[in-house]
Amino acid sequence: MQIIRVKNYEELSKKAAKILASIITLNPEAVLGLATGSTPVGAYQELIRLHREEGLDFSSISTVNLDEYLGLDGSHDQSYRYFMNQQLFDHVNIHIEQTFVPSGVSSDSQAACTEYDARIEDFCGTDVQVLGIGGNGHIGFNEPADHFIRETHIVDLAEDTREANARFFSSIEEVPTQAITMGMGGIFSSQKILLLASGKGKAQAIKDTVLGPITPQVPASLLQLHPDVILIADEDALSLL
Ligand code: PGA
């Protein structure tokens, strides 16, 4: 794992966007694995700036997102489809039909999981996967558990995850209890992983991810086995290393 230490969130966002922009420039048909949450927002803003001011071209790019809340459709303002449209897709020249987010409202959620993995396989995996990390070490919504799950699957959200995400809803009761998430197989299908972490709240999870044993209790620890992981983290997130 390569670790890039940055001073602050702004620098993290610029570095992450620069890596993504170079992947897009070198391969205009790249498949980007994208993440939601507050951490990648600054990188998406920088990508939008690069599109507007420097002509970064998304017209042949495809994207595959990590996860979606179960029960929220794309028009719900807390759904991850809505988030991606607002934070990135609506502001660049990407073809929206080439952007994929798992469906949170499929009548057959198991079939939705299988279809999502088939989609990733059709793409032969992603060229890069952006990841945030939960304070509990989750990636996507792969929560601490007794074993790693390879496939896209339905997951019960951990209580600390629901509490962490309650800030986006009017009350914790409104935070969905389940989600559909890409599994470790989908994440590992990526050529390159860009793990982003900012703030003291991520310090323990980053320490466990980088130095701890590989365990499904810290899902991100499995990244120790991926051949090309770049961790971009600020001083606070690296403070326990
Ligand atoms: P955050 O979430 O970027 O909002 O901190 C990351 C995550 O929970 O994976």
Q: Angle at CA 83, nearest 5°, toward 210 and 42? A: 55
134 CB within 6 A, ligand 1: yes
- The model carries a pTM of 0.97
Marked catalytic residue, from 46, 67, 127, 208:
67
- Using the atom order of ligand 1, give the atom closest to the CA of residue 198: 5
pLDDT at residue 24, as a whole number: 98
Q: How far apart are CA 158 and CA 135, in angstroms?
A: 11
Q: How far apart are CA 127 and CA 117, in angstroms?
A: 15
Could you tell me the distance, in angstroms and rounded to a whole number, from the CA of residue 132 to the centre of ligand 1?
A: 5
Looking at the DSSP bridge assignments, the partners of residue 194 are: 130, 230
- Using the atom order of ligand 1, give the atom closest to the CA of residue 165: 4
Marked catalytic residue, from 136, 142, 153, 234:
136
Q: What is the mean pLDDT of residues 188-196?
A: 98
Q: How far apart are CA 219 and CA 111, in angstroms?
A: 24
pLDDT category of residue 34 using cuts at 50, 70 and 90: very high
pLDDT category of residue 137 using cuts at 50, 70 and 90: very high
- Using the atom order of ligand 1, give the atom closest to the CA of residue 36: 3
Could you tell me the distance, in angstroms and rounded to a whole number, from the CA of residue 80 to the centre of ligand 1?
A: 12
